[in-house]
Amino acid sequence: MEWLVGDGATPSDALVALLAGLEADGPAMLVVDMIEQGLDQATQEALIAWLRRRGPDARPIFLLTRSCAILDLAAVGPDEAIILCPANHSAPTQVAPYPGAPGFEAVATCLATPEVRARTQGLVASWQPSH
């Protein structure tokens, strides 16, 4: 926590809970759904920087995110992979982190800034046929 706060993170219950889960002994790999939930942009940026510094022997973590602060497509490293799970339930595919790669634009359109995600949190789109 001290390192993250020193790197710009805002202390919060959400960050404490996340760090407790990430640091706890447990399975050989972790899956964290919507890792950005409850974290502001500065905290998300500090968190992803911290995760990237863990080293090659750290246990694998699968992060599900809609945040461009967590998944900065220009910053994806060689030991990271992007997996697109399409909304239409097609088979997941690995996506290369460069424009023009199959699936890159689909991933890019799913991402938004933490500010935009906060404004749309909890909203559900609905459609009603006209009479």
Q: Give dist(CA 88, CA 84) in Å, integer.
A: 11
Q: What is the pLDDT of residues 87-128, one digit of tens each?
A: 888 999 999 999 999 999 999 998 988 777 666 666 566 666
Q: What residue ranges do the domains of the chain occupy?
A: 2-120
Q: pLDDT at position 113, please?
A: 83
pLDDT band at 131 (very low <50, low <70, confident <90, very high): low
- Tokens 């710009």, located at residue: 8
CA 106 from chain centre, in angstroms, equals: 15
Q: What is the pLDDT of residues 61-85, one digit of tens each?
A: 999 999 999 999 999 988 899 999 9
More confident residue, 56 or 23: 23
What is the model's pTM? 0.83
The three-state secondary structure class of 50 is: helix
